[in-house]
Structure 1
Amino acid sequence: MSENATATAAATERKSDAAVTTEQKSPAGREIARRDTAGDRGRTSIADIVVAKIAGIAAREIDGVYDVGGTTERVVGKVREVLPGTGVSATQGIDVEVGERQAAVDVSIVAEYGVAIHQLAAAIRRNVISAIEQMTGLEVTEVNVTVHDVNFGDEVEPSGSSRRVE
């Protein structure tokens, strides 16, 4: 084989290696999705937590979402808010599965009273899909929305009741 043919074969092999995607475990035991793009001069790795944060922020942007997460997650979130040096987790109520080129997202929310839940879920889906696809290049195969509760707000009081404390 000529020197030029050997160099071409080596370059082709490097390009095919660049298109390989693998999954590894981080030191904390969380899976890290590695998404490598062919033709780039290096590798791009996107961790699951990154996709989860993008989804969490996108879900919170929608009017009608009172909070994100189930009951237990929200209680833990309230405790985190009180502790110094911690804050609300952007991944609270979000579960993701990230593959080579695709991602699936589960979002748990508390809706505000009076909002059409089917329209709220559709808006969350659109925003989450758009944010993840634009920021990561991953194809979002599904966004499942679970509504755990409805928040009635502080100003709503049962009819006929009077305030005990003013």
Structure 2
Amino acid sequence: MDTRIRYDEENKLGTIQISPQVIEMIAKLTAEEVEGVFRLSGGRAREFVDFLGRNKANTRGVRSQVGQREVAVDISIIIEYGQPFLTVAETLQEQIKNAIEGMTDLSVVEINVHIDDIHYDDK
């Protein structure tokens, strides 16, 4: 059962709904552009669900909660070896915040970055 909240506002022309999956896709696409992020990580269980094809949007590693006017995001990443963790995480938070707020007019109240692993390219 999906327990995530959905943004839902009614105006004189009808209802506007922003699904949590839309927020998660914005965060995913933004994260892929941040230097130092190798890829998103969803843990073993989430990767298995993706393998089975149940995650149609392919937003592995991103979870969101969307309220009436606010959103909170949890994102799990694998970071490139040698990158400054704090700098990468703060850049990621800022860029995701700007992208979500710029596209949805929702206020981002929290972005939790979980660094799950380090990618080391041993060429």
**1:8-157 residue pairs with structure 2 within 5 A?**
29=2, 31=4, 33-36=6-9, 38=11, 40-72=12-44, 75-76=47-48, 79=51, 89-155=57-123
Paired amino acid for 1:104: A
Shift of residue 91 of structure 1? Answer: 1.2
- Normalising by structure 2, report the TM-score: 0.84
Higher relative contact order (CA 8 A, sep 6+): 2
Of all paired residues, the percent bearing the same amino acid is: 32
Shift of residue 147 of structure 1? Answer: 0.3
Question: Which has the larger share of strand?
Answer: 2
Q: Name the CA shift for 1:42/1:90 in 2 (closer, same or farther; >3 Å).
A: same
Q: Distance in 1 between matches of 2:100 and 2:121?
A: 31
1:12 corresponds to: none
SS of the residue 1:96 aligns to: strand
- State how many pairs are aligned: 123
Shift of residue 59 of structure 1? Answer: 1.2
Shift of residue 67 of structure 1? Answer: 1.3
Is the contact between residue 4 and residue 64 of structure 2 (CA under 8 Å) also seen in structure 1? no
Paired amino acid for 2:78: V
> Which ranges of structure 1 fall in alignment gaps of 5 or more residues?
1-27, 156-166
Shift of residue 34 of structure 1? Answer: 3.4
Q: Name the CA shift for 1:75/1:87 in 2 (closer, same or farther; >3 Å).
A: closer
Q: Distance in 1 between matches of 2:95 and 2:119?
A: 22
> What RMSD in Å do the two structures reach over aligned CA positions?
2.6
